[in-house]
Amino acid sequence: MSDQILVEQVGAVATVVLNRPQSHNAITIDMYRSLPEVLGGLDADRAVKVVVLRGAGQKAFASGADISEFERERGDAESARGYNEHVAAAEHALAAMTKPTVAMVHGYCIGGGAGLALACDLRFADERARFAITPSKLGLVYGLASTKRVVDLVGPSRATWILVSGQQIPAERACALGLFDEVLPTDELAAHTYGFADLVSTRAQFSVRGGKEMVRRVVAGQLTDDEETRRIRNSSFDTPDYAEGVRAFLEKRPPRFTWS
């Protein structure tokens, strides 16, 4: 892992930092290559319960892919194929995490940065944030999986408008559309994001991950229970956290969950 991707951990919350503040955290091909391994390691780490993705500083979450690399790394259809596979793998690694992921968005969330943010479960933004998906300004076509994430959040008509216009959307408008989940004053964003992450880390983790998996299946089109969804739900009754949750409720005290 290069110093362009940093990992910090406080308690049960890990933070992945896109660390190129001098370039508004523009994402290099090496960063895309590194992310699946970094995220996979955090997903496997039992001490980590929530992952926050952010950009270094407060000017940008990420201003997009590093276009200065495009002639070398994305100069024709063949090289673009490999580049696009790395982008898709990084976004998939985020979307496939079993643990909750939160994008903490300061400032610009553009192009490739928007793609990473949309692959997170939640997006909290500051009031100065700007969101845009910009392939139409570069002569590119957005990938299918990335497009689906936009459509899932805002619907087909608004997704089409976002994709074909490439326009920057102010934070409050992006929140109204469903691209951001909350918008906070700049100086309150970090405290709010980490307060939420800390809260989720205290919940029953089998319930947290099971709930996330149920949402994922519904988004993928599953509308009725199958053997796996029944197994997930029924297995919760055998965890020590279920017994602890019921006991704590009856004893009128906060639960002390231990499953990880």
**pLDDT for the residue numbered 1:** 56
CA separation (Å) from 28 to 19, 48, 197? Answer: 11, 26, 28
Fold of 5-200: 2-enoyl-CoA Hydratase; Chain A, domain 1 (3.90.226)
pLDDT in tens, 115-135: 999 999 999 999 999 999 999
Q: Evaluate whether 5-200 and 204-250 have a shared fold.
A: no
Task: Map out the domains of the chain as residue ranges.
Answer: 5-200, 204-250
Spell out, as residue ranges, where the chain has pLDDT lower than 50.
none
Taking alpha carbons only, the member of 145, 141, 1, 117 closest to residue 61 is: 117
- What pTM value is reported for the model? 0.95
Q: E strand or H helix at 206, and its extent?
A: helix 205-219
pLDDT in tens, 226-243: 999 999 999 999 999 999
**pLDDT for the residue numbered 77:** 87
The correct answer on CATH 1.10.12.10 for the domain covering 204-250 is: yes
